[in-house]
Amino acid sequence: MLGPELTVSPAPHVHSGASISGIYYNTLIALLPATLFGVSLYGLDALGVVCASVASAIAVEALFQMLLKRPVSVADGSAAVSGLVLGLILPAGTPLYVVVVANLVGITIGKQCFGGLGANPLNPALVGWAAVRITKTWAGFLDFDLALANYDTGFLMAYPLAALKAEGLSGIARFNLVDLFLGKQSGGIGASATIWVLLGGLYLVVRGMIPWQIPLGFLLGMVSMGTIFWVSDPSTYANPLFHLLTGNAMIGAFFLLTESGSSPVNRWGMLIYGLCGGVFTIVLRAWSVYPDGVVFSALLVSLFAPLLDKLRKKQEIPATRPIGSL
């Protein structure tokens, strides 16, 4: 008599007993403080972007699954997390039709076309963001200095990384590191809330819902490469602490690179993946035309995730981690 069939399925695989929906709902909780901080700064414009992003991500995923006669799985929370992450790296006041199109591209091309949750080689939120950023007509919507010029938040409304890119060290002398850590800086609705993103990320690490190797590797990569640039020419390059506290650094470490479908599953692969992501981020900030670099760095290292999964000793069991958050 034949035994039970062996069911083989693509990642993500849950080993800890946590449910998929539980992990994604905890990710929403982890992002809530940064979301509230951003809405408190930018008001209804920020709230509109966030709500439109979450709603459109859910709607696009449900519609796509219905059209292809697949089970509608939006209740697992993955689409909501993807939409929220995208909304938090956009500036307040982004036209809502741009937000919807970004989610349309991200969810369909970045996720569902590859088979859905866990089968996607790239983070869908980042695919949507990149689609807007490389579009000549819409790229200006992601220019924080232009998008946020008319907001009165009580602190300097100049994007720190853009100031560094345009004016060098003299341009960032106006910024205080403590203020940057407290989120008093121009940027994405929630991504610039450094302390709140950090606390949310640590919450997920402590709960075991994202692997600690990826954020640790990413932050170490940023510090090491940032230090190399800084030591080589301290009159040109900013110190690594400035890089850690600005732009999408924290949200990249804990919420962008840890997306389960596009990240490695073995321990050494995760660490190297995060390390390379941090190194590429600093290189892009220093030598590319883009002020930040986290998003493109995350997309780049995701392409090497399958290769990094092969970097384990013979007979080594892959890290038993639950699916990560977006």
Q: Which domain holds residue 86?
A: 20-308
Judge contact between 128 and 105, C-beta under 8 A: yes
CA angle (203, 79, 84) in 5-degree steps: 55
**Residue entry with tokens 């949200």:** 251
Distance CA 1, CA 147 (A): 68
Distance CA 231, CA 235 (A): 9
pLDDT for residue 15: 45
Task: At 174, give phi and psi (nearest 5°).
Answer: -75, -15
Copy the structure tokens of residue 150: 């008319």
Confidence of residue 321 (pLDDT cuts 50, 70, 90): low
Q: What's the whole-number mean pLDDT along residues 257-272? A: 88
Q: Measured between alpha carbons, how far is residue 62 from residues 27, 65, 110, 228, 271 in Å?
A: 20, 5, 15, 47, 34
Q: pLDDT of 193-207, one tens digit each?
A: 999 999 999 999 999
Q: Is 143 exposed, middle or buried (0-12, 13-18, 19+ CB in 10 A)?
A: middle
Residue 168 lies in a domain: yes
Residue 252 lies in a domain: yes
Copy the structure tokens of residue 274: 């995060």
Residue 61 lies in a domain: yes
Number of domains comprising the chain: 1
Of the candidates 213, 198, 218, which has an alpha carbon nearest to the alpha carbon of residue 277? Answer: 218
CATH number at residue 100: 1.10.3430
Residue 8 lies in a domain: no
What number of other Cβ atoms are within 10 A of residue 155's Cβ? 16
Residue 322 lies in a domain: no
How would DSSP label each residue in 91-152? PTT--HHHHHHHHHHHHHHHTGGGTSTTT-SS-HHHHHHHHHHT-TTTGGGG-HHHHTTT--
Residue 13 lies in a domain: no
Distance CA 268, CA 307 (A): 12
pLDDT for residue 2: 44
Distance CA 210, CA 215 (A): 9
Residue 6 lies in a domain: no
Residue type, 99: V
Q: pLDDT of 37-57, one tens digit each?
A: 999 999 999 999 999 999 999
Q: What's the whole-number mean pLDDT along residues 205-226? A: 96
pLDDT for residue 91: 96
pLDDT for residue 201: 97
pLDDT for residue 183: 94
pLDDT for residue 31: 97
What number of other Cβ atoms are within 10 A of residue 72's Cβ? 11
Question: CB-side exposure of 171: number of CA atoms within 13 Å?
Answer: 16
What number of other Cβ atoms are within 10 A of residue 137's Cβ? 8
Distance CA 322, CA 18 (A): 7
Q: pLDDT of 93-123, one tens digit each?
A: 999 999 999 999 999 998 877 777 767 788 9
Residue 321 lies in a domain: no
Judge contact between 149 and 157, C-beta under 8 A: yes
Of the candidates 100, 76, 123, which has an alpha carbon nearest to the alpha carbon of residue 259? Answer: 123
What number of other Cβ atoms are within 10 A of residue 115's Cβ? 12
